[in-house]
Amino acid sequence: MDLIWDGLGEAVRIMRSGDFNVWEIVVRSIFVSGTATAISLFIGILVGSLIAFNQFPGRNLAFSLVNTGMGLPPVVVGLFIAIMLWRSGPLGELGIIYTPTAMVIAQTVICAPIVTGFTAAALRNLHPRLRSQLYGLGASRLQMLRLVLWEAKLPLLAAVMAGFGGAISEVGASQMVGGNLAGDTRVMTTAIWLEVSRGEFAPAIALSVILLVLIFLVNLILTTVQQQERR
Amino acid sequence: MTEAKLSLRDVRVRRGRSELVNVPHLDVLEGEVLVIIGPNGAGKSVLLETLALLQGPTAGHVLFEGQPVRGRQLGLRRRMAVVFQESAMLRRSLADNVAMGLRLRGVPRSVRRERVRRWMERFGIDHLAHRSALTVSGGEAQRANLARAFAVEPEVLLLDEPFSALDQPTRDDLLEDLSAALRETGVTTVFVTHDRTEALRLGDRLAVMMGGAIRQMGTAVEVFAAPVDEEVAAFVGVENIVAGRVRSLADGLATLDLGGATVESVASSPEVGLEVLVCLRPEDVVIEPGGRDSHRTSARNHLHGSIIRITPLGGQVRVVVDCGFPLVALITKQSLEDLGLKVGDQAVASFKASGVHLIPRGR
């Protein structure tokens, strides 16, 4: 038990002093995962509405693929992206392996299916007549899409929460394609992993607490928005 | 000659291998209410969506004011408004929902407010303006649905079974309000229904649709009095339908002028001078040989005329008596033989005042 209490005490001290470049790591984590979530939102809404609104052969297959994508193991994603971006790999010329950009790509691959799945489900749950009704009232395609997405904004917020949560808590892919380079690609999860592997529990606990608080805050804000909208 | 506002020419709609609609020719005339009536699965809704430019036909053309329409033209769609059976409201206030068509058209806020207020008032939902549209009753939502269609002041109004999901009293109220609004605006209207009363109440003309095709087209009296074939007859119901007018009201009885004949009916809230359609089921009509003075029945109505047609119909016989209008009676073969009636004989057709069903004519 001492290990935990000591760790917590040490964690508070670290957070106060700003030792160990904690805040730099936190800011990088938010930036990388935030960017990945934003890109995923764009892809997810586009693909999700295409799947939800159009009848085409293989639509069920598309749904299954998206649902499978929602549970992609980050390590596998990391491996795949690492191979692609490896210096001798197909996209090696880009020279982005072990950069935050590579991490954004990996997290987007993890996050986009989650957002797509949530979006498709949200749009499918809308009134089946809503689109025809909007067209019948004189909506253009763009107006229809805007109104329908606005109508589904509560489940779409859930998609953002789930997507961001998935991206920021993921460790395997970031480690593999980012390399956990101090001051460059180290994020909270990879830092925790490193500290624990070195037997330094205190900084690991400190980062874990910050990570949990961060996820909690994001969810608190979005849930508050949801509740206000629902009224 | 009234111009056609919307027309179909050689229109076919297929989905997969089945042909849902096959209409070689259909004109919706400027200012009329055209009712498309038919059983479920007849292709009525598909026809309406084609007219509304919500889906293109597989073959053939939709014409708007005589000009062929290509694709789903936004500009033309904005000159129309569609009302579906389900109101599909947005998660917003009822007033915002009623304003939706106007917002989509970029109508300025001041005009929008005035129109929304006027039409919500018109359909009796102005007190619900700020309520969430998802918390109102089915009837109220459907009132809002009508209000938002009228609010855009469309040139063509297309309604797809707007009352089928409602209970009877609500439906009657709404039918009354819709009829008045249609009369007042004179908007060109296509109304899809499977309900005969709605068709008789609203329609200037009726198109009977079955199996994707329009089987008969004409005024309500024409279609109901003279169905073209057995299938149409079976659907519209073999019934006497005569246009008339309320002459006077007394003691709960209405006296009606029916093209020369006078008929009494139980007054179901009509007013004097009102144009009505008089409906009478043939099995409620009793036939006796003419020339008898005393009628020993409780029936209030006794119309004299000559028999113009006798058609056997299974165990029963369809007898048509010319009473100033052709009145159809359905009697048993045995009765006909007992009475010894034949074509050309004088006869008296009797029926109770309570057997007469009145449908007020909106326009």
The DSSP letter of residue A152 is: T
Alpha helices in chain A (DSSP H): 2-17, 22-53, 59-69, 74-85, 100-124, 130-136, 141-151, 153-169, 172-178, 188-197, 201-230
Query: Residue B268 CB: number of other CB atoms within 10 A?
Result: 13
For domain B241-360, the CATH architecture is Beta Barrel (2.40)
Examine domains B4-239 and B241-360 and report if their fold is the same.
no
**What percentage of chain B exceeds 70 in pLDDT?**
95
Return the CATH fold of A2-16+24-55+63-230: MetI-like fold (1.10.3720)
Which residues lie across from B246 on neighbouring strands?
B256
Is this complex scored with an ipTM above 0.90? no
| Closest CB to A129 among B80, B86, B148 | B86
Angle at B270 between CA B268 and CA B272, to 5 degrees: 140
pLDDT tens digit sequence for A141-195: 999 999 999 999 888 888 898 999 999 999 999 999 999 998 899 999 999 999 9
Give the sign of the dihedral formed by CA B92, CA B97, CA B102, CA B107.
Answer: negative
pLDDT tens digit sequence for B130-139: 999 989 999 9
Counting every residue written for chain A, the total comes to: 231
Q: Show me where the domains of chain B are located.
A: 4-239, 241-360
Tokens 């990391």 belong to which residue? Answer: A78
Indicate the average pLDDT of chain A.
Answer: 89
Which residues of A are less than 8 Å from B101 in CB distance? Answer: 137-138
Q: Read off the tokens for B149.
A: 């269609």
Angle at A40 between CA A38 and CA A44, to 5 degrees: 125
- How many angstroms separate the CA atoms of B7 and B75, rounded? 17
Interface touch A132/B91, C-beta < 8 Å: no
Interface touch B88/A143, C-beta < 8 Å: no
**What percentage of chain A exceeds 90 in pLDDT?**
45
Sorting pLDDT into bands at 50, 70 and 90, what band is B153? very high
For domain B4-239, the CATH architecture is 3-Layer(aba) Sandwich (3.40)
> Is the pLDDT score of B294 beyond 60?
no
Interface touch A137/B101, C-beta < 8 Å: yes
- How many angstroms separate the CA atoms of B48 and B207, rounded? 12
The DSSP letter of residue B204 is: S
Contact A106, A174 (CB under 8 A): yes
Q: Read off the tokens for B144.
A: 């809002």
Interface touch B84/A132, C-beta < 8 Å: yes
Pairing verdict, β B301-313 and B316-322: antiparallel
Sorting pLDDT into bands at 50, 70 and 90, what band is B295? low
The DSSP letter of residue B132 is: B
- Phi/psi for B118 (5° steps) reads -60, -45
Maximum distance among all Cα pairs of chain B, rounded to whole angstroms: 75
- Interface probe for A, chosen from B79, B82, B131 (most Cβ of A below 10 Å), is B82
Q: Measure in Å the smallest separation between the Cα of A56 and chain B Cα atoms.
A: 13
Interface touch A137/B149, C-beta < 8 Å: yes
Which residues of A are less than 8 Å from B142 in CB distance? Answer: none
Lowest average pLDDT, out of A19-23, A44-48, B158-162, B320-324, goes to A19-23
Which residues of B are less than 8 Å from A138 in CB distance? Answer: 74, 77-78, 80-81, 101, 104-105, 152
Sorting pLDDT into bands at 50, 70 and 90, what band is B354? confident
Interface touch A137/B84, C-beta < 8 Å: no
Sorting pLDDT into bands at 50, 70 and 90, what band is B128? very high
pLDDT at A5: 82
Average pLDDT over residues B251-269: 84
Which residues of B are less than 8 Å from A129 in CB distance? Answer: 84, 86, 88
| Closest CB to B84 among A129, A138, A140 | A129
> Is the pLDDT score of B96 beyond 70?
yes
The pTM of this model reads: 0.77
DSSP B285-304: -EEEETT-----SS-SEEEE
From A53, A63, A47, select the one nearest A115 (Cα to Cα): A47
Residue B28, C-beta contacts closer than 8 angstroms, at least 6 positions apart:
B4, B5, B6, B7, B34, B51, B156, B188, B190
Q: Show me where the domains of chain A are located.
A: 2-16+24-55+63-230
Q: Within chain A, which residues score under 70 in pLDDT?
A: 1, 18-20, 230-231
Interface touch B49/A134, C-beta < 8 Å: no
From A221, A204, A122, A125, select the one nearest A164 (Cα to Cα): A221
Interface touch A147/B90, C-beta < 8 Å: yes
Residue B3, C-beta contacts closer than 8 angstroms, at least 6 positions apart:
B29, B30, B65, B66
